[in-house]
Amino acid sequence: MFDVEDTQASISIYTTNDDPYVYGAALAEPYKNLTDEEILAKLLEMDLSGNVRKGDFVNQTFWNLVDETEYVVFVFGYEAGAATTALVKEFFTTESLEVADIDPIEIITGPFYDVDDVLAEYPELSEDFYYGYGRALGMINFGDIPEGADGFMWAMQYKNVMDEETYRDSQLLQLIGTFGIGEEYLYNWFNYGEDHTIFAAAFTFDEKGNQIYGPVSRVLVNVTKDDVSPVSEFPINLYRAPAYAASSEPLMVSLGRPAEEEPETLMTARQVK
């Protein structure tokens, strides 16, 4: 392993023949006290088809790691569901998450409106509000960009991810980096009586031009019919503006289950560009 950082680490595998082999990474804890033979037996119980390679496998990066967490990377010969070589493994621990010295971004939620009521009053919005039937629509805005920050990014989960031990900041920042947007968003659909978590972070750039996030802000939202404002207060002019004329699907990102609930699989890596 090389270039081990807070949420990623890289690997290069060099081979002496063209025989197939399996590689992958996993959380280290389930494998710490096992012999190589026991580890192989455990791995061979999995579907390894997505982790089979031939030839050199150079400068590949595992991107979806959690900071301050120990992992193990495996390589072994593999064919027809059986190991053909001894196991080669290496344990490594990711670095602490680098956090920019800037203040958290403020998340401002609401007001909320019942979509069915809005469409009864403004049927011309039916195409844009297609995904909102039977749900609430809620505004999501943000406070001023913190001093020293260059912008912010945010995303939303359709579940409760407020527990910082189960859902680390580094995991949420990966989602923000992949799915997030950098401005308020007017098409936010909320399911009545269900938890939703909005999370955001301001960012700046280091001397190398790398984007570094500040602290992650989180807000839990659970909307009921009692929380919606009267349709007479709905800001219809915002939704008639050209910037919001196109249909918009709900902003949903997938965090997956906590590690202890995940089925046992091996992580795969992709080419560094």
Structure tokens that stand for 81 in this block: 């569901």
Cβ(74)–Cβ(25) under 8 Å?
A: yes
The set of residues, in sequence order, having a beta carbon less than 8 Å from that of 49 and lying 6+ positions away, is none
Q: Are 9 and 269 in contact (CB under 8 A)?
A: no
Question: Do residues 246 and 252 make contact, with C-beta atoms less than 8 angstroms apart?
Answer: no
Q: What is the pLDDT along the chain (273 residues), one digit of tens a residue?
A: 688 988 889 999 999 999 999 999 999 999 998 999 999 999 999 999 889 999 999 988 888 788 889 999 999 999 989 999 999 999 999 988 888 999 999 999 999 999 999 999 999 999 999 999 999 999 899 999 999 999 999 999 999 999 998 998 988 998 888 888 888 888 899 999 999 999 999 999 988 787 889 999 999 999 999 999 999 999 999 887 644 444 444 444 433 333 344 445 666 666 544
pLDDT of residue 171: 87
Coil, helix or strand at residue 243: helix
SS3 30: helix
The CA distance from 58 to 10, in Å, is: 9
CA 244 to chain centre: 26
Output the pLDDT for position 264: 58
The answer, as to whether pTM is greater than 0.75, is no
The alpha-carbon radius of gyration of the chain (Å, integer) is 23
CA-based torsion, 105, 111, 117, 123: positive or negative: negative
Please report which residue ranges of the chain form alpha helices under DSSP H.
Answer: 36-43, 115-121, 169-179, 236-239
- Report the alpha-carbon distance of residue 117 to residue 134 in Å, rounded: 10
Tell me 5's DSSP state: -
Q: How far apart are CA 99 and CA 169, in angstroms?
A: 10
Report which secondary-structure segment, H or E, holds 157: strand 151-157
Give CA torsion, residues 51, 53, 56, 58, to 10 deg. -30
> In a 3-state reduction of DSSP, which class is residue 59?
strand
